[in-house]
A = this chain, B = another copy of it.
Amino acid sequence: MTEPEWLRLDRQICFSLHAASRAFNGVYRVVLGDLGLTYPQYLVMLVLWEQGDLPVKKLGEQLRLDSGTLSPLVKRLEAAGLVRRERSAADERSVLVRLTGEGAALRERALEVPRRIMSATGFDPAEIGELRERLDRLTAALDAAARTEATR
């Protein structure tokens, strides 16, 4: 394979992933519009619904997002009345993110989201599972490589 062909191929691969990510985002934008949530905000709410109130730190670990992204995002959720932020009494550095009644109630309306997303993909559950497995493997490899490259 000649080098120019490598560049062509690379364009196709990186472009495919970029496009898929943006397309997914677009569908979530439409589906979540009804709930007044963005896609990353929905991810935060999913974690809170599943695991209950959590400090910002724990949220960041779950979603692999740092405080630079989470702090303003959580503030917007608070402005929307879905969560409250409370300094932990035990450790004043930590801020606990708590669902409000309204935030907890939103879960009911969110229950229809997954099915709408699934049907938008046009994939059956098995295929989705396989894709997910592949993406997770890819992510792990890429994260490892980024660390190695960075310290090269």
Residues of A whose CB lies within 8 Å of any CB of B are 3, 6-24, 26-31, 39-40, 42-43, 46-47, 49-50, 63-64, 107, 110-111, 113-123, 128, 131-132, 134-139, 141-143, 145-146, 149-150
- For A49, A116, A139, the residue with the greatest tally of chain B CB atoms inside 10 Å of its CB is A139
Contact indicator B24/A17 (Cβ below 8 Å): yes
A147 to B91, CA, bound (A): 48
Given contacts A64-B22, A139-B16, are A146 and B30 in contact (CB under 8 A)? yes
Q: Report A37 CB to chain B, min CB distance, Å.
A: 12
Known A-B contacts: A14-B28, A14-B42, A27-B142. Give 5 more (CB < 8 A).
A17-B135, A19-B136, A27-B146, A31-B149, A120-B141
Residue in contact with A123 in the complex, picked from B3, B15, B120, B138, CB distance below 8 Å: B138
Number of copies: 2
Contact indicator B122/A26 (Cβ below 8 Å): no
Q: Which residues of B contact A146 (CB under 8 A)?
A: 23, 26-27, 29-30, 120
Contact indicator A139/B8 (Cβ below 8 Å): no
Contact indicator B149/A27 (Cβ below 8 Å): yes
Q: Which residues of B contact A64 (CB under 8 A)?
A: 19, 22
Given contacts A11-B43, A27-B149, A30-B146, are A6 and B141 in contact (CB under 8 A)? no
